[in-house]
Amino acid sequence: MDILLRPTATDVAVAAADILADFARRGATLGLATGSTPVATYRELIRRYDAGEVSFADCRAFLLDEYIGLPRDHEQSYHRTIRREFTSHVDIPDEAVHGPDPEQGGQAYEDAITAAGGVDIQLLGVGTNGHVGFNEPGSSLASRTRMKTLHPQTVADNARFFDSADEVPIHVLTQGLGTIRRAGHLLLLATGAGKADAVHKLVEGPVTASCPASVLQLHEYATVIVDEAAASRLHDLEYYRFIEAHQPRR
Ligand code: F6R
């Protein structure tokens, strides 16, 4: 796993945009995440698109997850969110942006990803409880896209996007950890002190369903980019700095 330490959340976004723009230039299939962490990265990619530095015209995109029970055009559905935050501001064709559809179910989404040749790079955030996608603690490390029930912690964390916690759907359709692991490259971003414990566990803890993000340790190409606050509980911080300062030429 490559651990990239950056001073601020803005620097995390720039480093993530560097990697994603390289994939976009090759017309990659992008795995996109929602939530607040990737928003700065999307803004940076939109800025580069506006500056003529990158195009997404040949890309396809697959979302990680979707709420069950929200109308597709609800302001907080992930179908709407990704368009508002990113894809409607760049030149990726709207019909090339896919998300899990609760009406169609998990297998249809797995089939769509497979038919597209798989995801080349999957962008990920991490929940304060270590979830990725909406794979809550206890999720099978081999799971595929299926319905999950959100942990009360996640409902509380996501209440900020709604008028009240009561409005947060508790059921979701999410790519499984086995689905996520099939992507060619995993790129996890974490910013802020609230993520420090999850980052420590996913990077330095055991691979365990109790911290679903620890599944990244099983992937051949996983990059974790964190700001100082999110890195603050990493035990081997100095070693990660040392590695980055002494990158071998590839
Ligand atoms: C979003 C998703 C979630 C979020 C996670 C962190 O599509 O799958 O795993 O990445 O809940 O959310 P934020 O970035 O809002 O802290």
Structure confidence at residue 177 (pLDDT): 98
Which residue segment(s) compose the domain that 65 sits in?
2-182+199-245
Distance CA 31, CA 133 (A): 11
Tell me the pLDDT tens digit for each residue of 66-117.
Answer: 999 999 999 999 999 999 999 999 999 999 999 999 999 999 999 999 999 9
Q: Which residues are catalytic?
A: 65, 129, 131, 136
pLDDT exceeding 90 applies to what percent of the chain? 98
Identify whether 13 is part of a domain: yes
The percentage of the chain sitting over the pLDDT mark of 70, rounded to a whole number, equals: 99
What pLDDT is stored for residue 122 in this prediction?
98
137 inside domain: yes
User: Is residue 20 a contact partner of residue 41, using CB atoms and an 8 Å limit?
Assistant: yes
Q: How confident is the model at residue 248 (pLDDT cuts 50, 70, 90)?
A: confident
The total domain count for the chain is 1
Let me know if residue 190 belongs to a domain: no
- 35 found inside a domain: yes
DSSP state of 142: T
- Atom 8 in ligand 1: residue holding the nearest Cα: 133
Q: Is 84 left (phi over 0), alpha (psi -120 to 50) or beta?
A: alpha
Strand arrangement, sheet containing 171-174:
65-67, 171-174, 146-149
Nearest CA to ligand 1 atom 12: 35
Instruction: Indicate the average pLDDT of the chain.
Output: 97
- Position 187 in a domain: no
The alpha carbon of 87 is separated from its chain's Cα centroid by a whole number of angstroms, namely: 15
pTM: 0.97
CATH assignment of the domain containing 32: 3.40.50.1360
Is 107 inside a domain boundary? yes
Confidence of residue 250 (pLDDT cuts 50, 70, 90): low
250 within some domain: no
- Which positions ≥6 away from 126 have C-beta within 8 Å? 37, 132, 188, 190, 195, 198, 199, 202, 213
Question: Strand 65-67 vs strand 146-149: parallel, antiparallel, or unpaired?
Answer: unpaired
* 249 pLDDT higher than 90: no
Residue 193 domain flag: no
Quote the CA–CA distance of 147 and 185 in Å, as a whole number: 24
Ligand 1 pocket: which of 131, 158, 186 to mutate (most atoms within 8 A of CB): 131
